[in-house]
Every structure is written in structure tokens, then in C-alpha cells.
Amino acid sequence: MHRIAEWLKHAEAWLDDKGKPAWIATMVLGFIFVWPLGLAILFYMIWSGRMQCGKSSWRRRHGYAGAGPTGNAAFDEYRQETLRRLEEEQGAFVGFLEQLRRAKDKAEFDQFMADRGRPRDDAPITA
């Protein structure tokens, strides 16, 4: 049992090195020759996140998700300053959008209040 687990870990590492096409080819071959094996590989790929689209899932599995220091002090400083500036701009933009929403809400409310006091043309006339 221990040898099988070692072999499976080795096969998993080898397929990870080759990428998603190798996983898909293995799954297809499993379906062709022994369909329960292909089904098991499909379930494993879904469960482990190997079927996700994009490079982000591969990066997360291989440890490239964070934006840690690069070792180049000038670049790291530039990146930190740029991120700080972008966060400030995002905050200012969110504030601007909030002002727009409030102005729109106020205009709609003012319009409602103005219309509420006027008699409507289709309102029944009561004596």
C-alpha cells in the first residue's frame, strides 16, 4: 500500500509538471481503457482545483500567489508606492461614486416631492 501511495504522489508531481493537458490526456485515456479510472481522475481534478481556468490556480498550487519582496529594493519600493497610490485613487473614486449616487437620489426625491404636490391630469376630480 505504501508503494502505491508513493507511486501516485510521483505520478501527480509528474502530471503537475507537464500541466493541465497531461491531466486531461490521462483522464481521457482512463475513460477509454477503464472508465471508472477516468471518472476517478475527473473527480480528483475537480476536487483538487486542477480543472479551474486560468493561471491563478496553477500559481496558487505552486506558491506564486503572493507579491512578496523580489530582492530588488528599488523595484519593491516602486511597487509599494504604486500600490499605495492606486489604493488612494480607488478610495477617491469610491467617494466620487457615492457622491454621484447621493446627488441622483436627491434629484429623484426632489422630483417626487415636486410631483406629489401637483394635481395629476388623470386623477379623478372630486367635488
Residue pair 67/79 in contact (Cβ under 8 Å)? The answer is yes
The average pLDDT across 45-49 equals 81
Cβ burial of 50 (10 Å; 0-12, 13-18, 19+) is buried
pLDDT in tens, 68-84: 788 899 999 999 999 99
Q: pLDDT confidence of 50, banded at 50, 70, 90?
A: confident
What pTM, to 2 d.p., does this model score? 0.38
The average pLDDT across 41-57 equals 73
pLDDT in tens, 93-112: 999 999 999 999 999 999 99
